[in-house]
Amino acid sequence: MARPRAFDTDVAVERAMSLFQRQGYHATPVPRLTALLGIGSGSLYAAFGSKDGLYARALEHYCDGLVAALDRDVRAGSDIRTALRGLLITMVTADAADPECGCLLVGATTERASHAGTVEQVRRTMDAVESVLAQALRRARARGELGGEHSPVELARFLTTFIQGIRVMGRARADRAFLESAVSGALRALN
């Protein structure tokens, strides 16, 4: 009879996500993961199938949280410009406070571009980000905050691309003034 699992897989995914976020997939060996999680390699393989399986779960968890937070944040402002500025400045602040942490989605995109499962997760997440932003921009247009000449989908695609760019620049330790200026320039696209 199999023994019951003696660790919480949700906690393990959260911890592994943080480690992958800081170190990347390739620089995170299985012994480092098992030490962090306080489990043996057999338990890791039994729960997740492989390091790759754990990474896939961690990336999915990160992406789900990212999309949910984005949706919450774009609804939080009194208007779309305030909401987007708050969201982008929060990213700039987080990256400046801990540039080693970075964005797991950016890391996945650059480090695992040849892994089909990772590419698919990134694509689904980018589609979800674009959808959340397009919906927010449609609501903003209905409230009269955007002119009719603005395509919510085109603006959402621009902002999706800009968000990833700002995360890359944060990881590259770009100067905060530079990043804030870039945010101001991006928001002018809504004028």
Per-residue pLDDT of the chain (191 residues; tens, 9 = 90+): 455 456 799 999 999 999 999 999 999 999 999 999 999 999 999 999 999 999 999 999 999 999 999 999 998 878 999 999 999 999 999 998 988 888 999 999 999 999 999 999 999 999 999 999 999 999 999 999 988 788 999 999 999 999 999 999 988 889 999 999 999 999 999 88
Which pairs from 119-122 meet CB under 8 Å and 24+ separation?
121/56, 121/59, 121/60, 121/63, 122/63
> Using a CB cutoff of 8 Å and minimum separation of 24, what contacts does 122-128 make?
122/63, 124/63, 125/63, 125/66, 125/67, 126/160, 128/63, 128/67
Range of the domain at 155: 59-188
* Residue 36 in domain: no
d(Cα 191, Cα 175) in Å, to the nearest integer? 26
Residue 179 lies in a domain: yes
In this structure, the number of other CB atoms found within 10 A of the CB of residue 70 comes to: 18
Vertex 100, ends 64 and 22: CA angle to 5°? 55
User: Residue 98 CB: number of other CB atoms within 10 A?
Assistant: 12
Q: Report the number of distinct structural domains present in the chain.
A: 1
User: Is position 146 within any domain?
Assistant: yes
In a domain, 88, yes or no: yes
Domain assignment present for residue 48? The answer is: no
The SS3 call for residue 190 is: coil
Q: Which residues contact 152 (CB under 8 A, 6 or more apart)?
A: 133, 134, 135, 137, 138, 141, 146
Indicate which CATH number applies to the domain containing 173. 1.10.357.10
What is this structure's pTM? 0.91
